[in-house]
Structure 1
Amino acid sequence: MGVEVRVEGLTKSFGKQTIWRDVSLTLPAGEISVMLGPSGTGKSVFLKALIGLLKPDEGHVFIEGTDIATCSERDLYEIRKLFGVLFQDGAMFGSMTLFDNVAFPLREHTRKSETEIREIVMEKMTMVGLVGAEGKLPAEISGGMRKRAGLARALVLEPEIVLFDEPDSGLDPVRTAFINQLIVDLNAQIEATFLIVTHDINTARTVPDNIGLLFHRHLAMFGPREMLLSSEEPAVRQFLNAQTVGPIGMSEEKDADELALEDHSTLPALPPIPLQLLPTDGRPRPTQAPPGAWCAANGVTPPPGSFLDDPLSPHPLRVHDPVSSGGAA
């Protein structure tokens, strides 16, 4: 099972430029969370702060009781062993085969034999669907395959926390869908805590258990997926539903004149909340809530058409129950 990550009052600046201030949130253990935000809002900086590559100006990041913002270098080195990171472009060593790229962390950080390393590497390459490509160089494969190789490398040390920095960057919609399904399947298998930075709205609407939005140098909101997808908070509503009406403009924040022109604009209706992506075997992940559970628990009426197999269908989703249907026999 993954570990909880607790962030309290995190602030980061570069010189006189504040990236974000007073960010507080908790990444629940074993769950998938997504961090969104317009370009330049510091999402990748946030990932680097979580793993201790950047020191915050203020605040704390607690992982298994250790504050990585203030701990010693020795403690930070040990905490980093809990992490796996998938970088935007895979970050492969160009002169190494995929096998050697994936094996690199094992050779650097463990004393395992080459036989053990081969077994682990091939297991991870099987998980990401790259068996047969282990002898290829990064330049000989597609961008999507490089992403999957990078993911295999992120998993070889059995991390409790996996960070994904724009895993869909540069991928076409079909490859993005495959990567999303792979992320969900992997979370079901290893039950680690996942945090994904992305711009892809379909990913944000269908993959995570929780969503956060960075905007205008602060965390606009963080919480369960259904909470944000039914939210009327202007920036959250605008970004998650790809709308033009709202505080986010071409240069991140609209000026007063632009907002004044929108005062009497009619907001588009919130679109239906889609079903959350299930693992390939169709069984919910251990941390995955039933469709509509948050809305029901909090007295929120979801947008019409929410939680249907087909949003245009008037009939609600029928959830398969193996006990009542005799599937347990």
Structure 2
Amino acid sequence: MGVEIEVNDLTKSFGKQLIWGDVSLTIPAGEICVMLGPSGTGKSVFLKTLIGLLKPDRGSIIIEGTDIASCSERELYEIRKLFGVLFQDGAMFGSMNLYDNIAFPLREHTKKSESEIRAIVMEKLDITGLIGTEHKLPGEISGGMRKRAGLARALVLDPEIVLFDEPDSGLDPVRTSFLNQLIVDLNAQIDATFLIVTHDINTARTVPDNIGLLYHKHLAMFGPREMLLSSEEPVVRQFLNAQKIGPIGMSEEKDADELAAESDQELPPLPPIPMQLEPSNGIARRSQREPGAWCREQGITPPPGSFEDNISMAPGA
């Protein structure tokens, strides 16, 4: 089962440039969360800070009682064993075949025998649909297969937290759909805590249990998927519905003249909230809630057509 990540008042700068400040959220154990935001808002920096690759200016990140923002290197090393990371490009060693790439963390961090390593590697290859490709080099396979190989490597140490840094980057919509289904199936199988950084709106609308949005150097909102998909908050509504009207512009934030020119325009109606993607076997994940449950609990009427199997998943539909 995954572990909870508690983030309190986290702030990160590079020199005089503030990336984001006073970010506070709790990533629930075993759930799938997505972090969104316009380009350049520090989403990847957030992931690197969570795993201790970057030190925040202030704030805390509590994982199993340890604040990794201020702990010793020895404590950080132990906490990092809880993590698996899928990098944007897979980050495979080009001179190693897939088998050796995936076996690498086991050989570096455990004392397992080669027979034990082989059993684990073949299991992860099977989970990610890569059986039969283990002798290929990363340059001999497609981008989608490299992503899956990177995911297999992220899973070999049986992590309780898995971070995905733009897993859909460079993939076509069909491969992205396959990858999204794989992520949901994996969460159901291993019950780890998943955090996905993505720009893909369909992924954000259909995959996670919770959604966060980084914008203008702060966390605009974080909460259950239905909360953000029914939100009237302009920046959330604009981003999740892929609209031009709203506070986000080409350079992140629109200036006063641009906003004034839009003053007589209204954001289009919220599109229907789609059904959440379910595991392939049809058995609900532990953290999966009944469609519309959050809206009913909050007394909120979802947009017309929400939670219907046959609605279009496209933004603005």
TM over 0.5, shorter chain: yes
SS at 1:134 equivalent: coil
2 CA distance for matches of 1:123 and 1:265?
54
TM-superposed CA distance for 1:311, in Å, is 2.4
Assess if the C-alpha contact under 8 Å between 2:105 and 2:156 holds in 1. Answer: yes
Shift of 1:283: 1.4
Match of 1:142 in 2: 142
CA distance in 2, matches of 1:218, 1:232: 18
Q: Secondary structure at the match of 1:304?
A: coil
Deviations 1:230-270 (A, max 9, x none): 00111100000001110000110000000011111022000
- Counterpart of 1:229? 229
Q: Distance in 1 between matches of 2:311 and 2:204?
A: 17
Distance 2:35 2:181 in 1: 18
Q: How does 1:163-174 map to 2 (within 5 A)?
A: 163-174=163-174
Matched, 1:299 2:261: no
Count of residue pairs the alignment pairs up:
312
Question: What 5-or-longer segments of structure 1 have no aligned partner?
Answer: 313-329
Task: State whether residues 238 and 267 of structure 2, in contact with CA within 8 Å, keep that contact through their aligned partners in structure 1.
Answer: no
SS of the equivalent of 2:146 reads: helix
Following the alignment from structure 1 to structure 2, what is the Cα–Cα distance between the partners of residues 310 and 188?
Answer: 24
2:210 is aligned with 1:210: yes
**Where does 1:14-33 land on structure 2 (aligned, <5 Å)?**
14-33=14-33
Give runs of ≥4 in structure 1 deviating > 3 Å. none
Alignment of 1:39 with 2:32, yes or no, is no
Aligned to 2:246: 246
Counterpart in the other structure of 2:265: 265
What letter matches 1:203 in structure 2? T
TM-score (norm 1): 0.94
What code does the residue aligned with 1:279 have? P
Q: How far is the alpha carbon of 1:229 from its aligned partner?
A: 0.2
Q: Using the alignment, how far apart are the partners of 2:189 and 2:171 within structure 1?
A: 24
**CA RMSD for the aligned pairs?**
0.6
Counterpart in 2 of 1:98? 98
Kept in 1: contact 2:81–2:159 (CA 8 A): yes
Secondary structure at the aligned position of 2:278 is classed as: coil
C-alpha distance in structure 1 between counterparts of 2:80 and 2:47, whole Å: 12
Once the 2 structures are TM-superposed, how far is the Cα of residue 198 of structure 1 from its aligned partner? 0.1
Tell me the percent identity: 80
Q: Deviations over 1:277-319 (max 9, x none)?
A: 000011110110010000001101000000001128xxxxxxx
Unaligned runs of 5+ in 2: 313-317
Equivalent-residue separation in structure 2 for 1:171 and 1:309 (angstroms): 25
Aligned to 2:72: 72
